[in-house]
Copies of this chain bind each other. A is one copy, B any other.
Amino acid sequence: MAVKSEHIPKATIARLATYIQVLSEFKREGTDVVSSERLAEACSVNSSQIRKDLAYFGEFGVRGVGYYVQDLITSIKRSLGIDRAWNCALVGVGNLGRALLRHREFSRKGFIIRGAFDCDPYKIGEVVEGMEIVCSRQLPAKVKELSLEIGVITTPPERAQRAANYLVGAGIKGIINFAPARIAVPKHIHLEYVDFFHYFYAAAFHIRFDDNRD
């Protein structure tokens, strides 16, 4: 059992990702032990928050001492389910899809893009970063053959639903959708939307209207 608690807030998951990032940095710097207070400062959160977030999954620290950096990284990774590799399918090999394919960090962090799919006949057969682009129709076969579990959608928005349908039909377990379109999937499929514009809108809003406040 990886969790002690029933429901984990979405915000906690997001923060755990940040903790891993910052802890990895501490590790590179040669820091062996860190207190929740010090980690909190580096992550711009409250130290109770960190202890609370971790408490959802177990007891990873030592009272009077703090957290052993390497151990905590390992514990958080196990808690998140990223203590093993995940095979991913990339659907839509355009500008963004190529950037993702070429990004070494994904496989280093355990998310391995093992299949790249597109429907454009001019792209099929092309090799990007050692990976041959295959026709989307081969999704069912490839998902099975390569045990692909996570589908990454980087098609134009009007094609996102179709891509999702292929992925779901092929037996994928979760989808990360980079296209700015809402899609419908059966509720046992986990779905994450990544919309860059959220961040640009938030920046614009705060720059424009925060002047007097804050």
Q: Which residues of A contact B (CB under 8 A)?
A: 2-3, 6-8, 10, 13-14, 16-18, 21-22, 25, 42-44, 79-82, 86, 95-96, 98-99, 102-103, 105-106, 109, 111, 149-150, 173-176, 180-182, 187, 190, 192-210, 213-214
Query: Do B95 and A99 have beta carbons less than 8 Å apart?
Result: yes
Given contacts A181-B21, A209-B81, are A95 and B86 in contact (CB under 8 A)? no
Contacting pair A176 B192 (CB below 8 A): no
| Residue among A106, A187, A201 with max Cβ neighbours from chain B (10 Å) | A201
Which of B8, B180, B182 lies in contact with A43, CB distance below 8 A?
A: B182
- Across the two chains, which residue of chain B brings its CB closest to A150? B203
Given contacts A21-B195, A174-B204, A194-B199, 11 further A-B contacts (CB under 8 A): A6-B213, A14-B202, A17-B202, A21-B197, A80-B204, A86-B204, A95-B98, A95-B99, A95-B102, A95-B103, A109-B200
A109 contact from B3, B25, B197, B209, Cβ within 8 A: B197
State how many copies of this chain the complex holds.
2
| C-alpha gap A180/B103 in the complex (Å) | 13
In the complex, which residues of chain B have a beta carbon less than 8 angstroms from the beta carbon of A198? 13-14, 17
In the assembly, what is the distance between CA of A25 and CA of B158, in Å?
A: 10
Bound form: Cα–Cα A192–B180 in Å? 19
Contact B150 A207 (CB under 8 A): yes
